[in-house]
Structure 1
Amino acid sequence: MPELPPGVDVLWGRREPAKRGPRPNLSIEQIVDAAIEIASAEGLGPLSMNRVAEKLGKSAMSLYRYVRTKDELLQVMTDVCAVKNAPPEPDDDAGWRPNLERWAYELVGLYRRFPWVLHVPLGPTPPVGPGQLTWLDRGLGCFRRTNVPSELRLGVVMLLLIFIRGQVRMAQEVNQGAAGAALGYPAYGEMLRLVVDKDQLPDLARLVDEGMFDDPEEGMSEQELDMEVRFGLTMIFDGIERLVAGYEEEQ
């Protein structure tokens, strides 16, 4: 029987404890909780095995008994956040759209509560942690009472996941750009006016002249992010509705 790859065994609690050395005085849960606290307060930059060990009052070497690398720790942290913030089971009586909309906005909330999750590199395998698979399963479950084929159900859920990740991360980067303005850099709209030529880029130049890129110095507010996400999701859901209706008509 094949073994789970390194890191995946930790996600599922299937790593065999070390049989040599001193008796364990830590747990993977303590390590992950401490790491999440650091990342949530300070971002991923200051996060290191040494920093986590310092927070726990332990040596860095003692952590390697539970996680092999920082990358492995990041994967476990991400999945623990997914587990603890998993969406509810779909309500079969509510219909696919209300269920999927709830799933999508729960995902937006997860990324906003833990913005560092969006900066964790993808692991060596496709999503396989219990938290990630729970989210995937509950997204797929929204189509339980439809005739949409399996491959399209998966495609829709992945489309939503990619859109939401991109939208929330873009808002983060816009806000980081606003922080740059505080250092004396020109605002984005001002920079575009310096480089966009009306003859070479006429359609973009029109939007620049209309002030479409003149974001406020404080960046994108939560209300503005909500509006952007809601607009995009409405467009996507309207398209999904036509897809679902087409398969219902075939029956």
Structure 2
Amino acid sequence: MTAPPPQAEKNNVAKISAALELLEAGNSSRDVLDALSEMIDRAEMKVGDRLPPEVEIAKKLGVGRAKVREALTAWQNMGIVTRNKKAGTRLAAEVSSNAIHVPVTLKLEAESLLRTHSVRRPLEIESARMAARNVTDQQARVILARVAELMSIFEAGEDWREADNRFHRAIQAASGNPLFEQIIQQIQRAFNEIYEAPFGQPHLGQVTIPLHPELARAIAARDEARASKVMARIMDMVEHEVRQVMETYDV
């Protein structure tokens, strides 16, 4: 990526700093990123443009530098910015609103979720297939127990997210390759640290829960093809749900 000429970059910095002056932020990393999203949109920043230094952002938003670093690290993990000592923090993905009535933060949230989902999808499918191949009798019992727990919580109308995470981690552990669990959890954590409840919907993806017992049975039966097929369907349903929400808001 070619860096802008020094004078052009200097003008960009001034424009970005002016936009930053107009913002306020709360105390959470999400608040900081919401403010930075607005700054990027107001300043009409492009991919490759440099963000102000952490210390300047912290000072102008009235938050601690550690909070700014935490927020920008989350963006780095999601591929929205790149960071290094010489080049500073630069925008790596477009952050702008396509419609007058759509908050830029909502568009960014949707695109971030789809970006992380596209990386997670093949990993989840392969981990299910490998789990069906390598699962031990004990691991199969754990997976079936985890899905029973998940369904019990789901049918009671309670928050099922932690139970769902335990179920998927049991599958990842049964795959025989610890990298599946490490990478998938890292991807999920990068997004959830900021966007705990995507679009304000803490139960995004609940339409897939009734499919989870079929997935558990396929793995316990050591049926690789069926396990892969069910997991692919689950992941596709989540993506479809996200895109439906985006269409609702015209994101």
TM-score under structure 2 length normalisation: 0.32
Q: Which has the higher contact order (CA 8 A, sep 6+)?
A: 2
TM-score under structure 1 length normalisation: 0.32
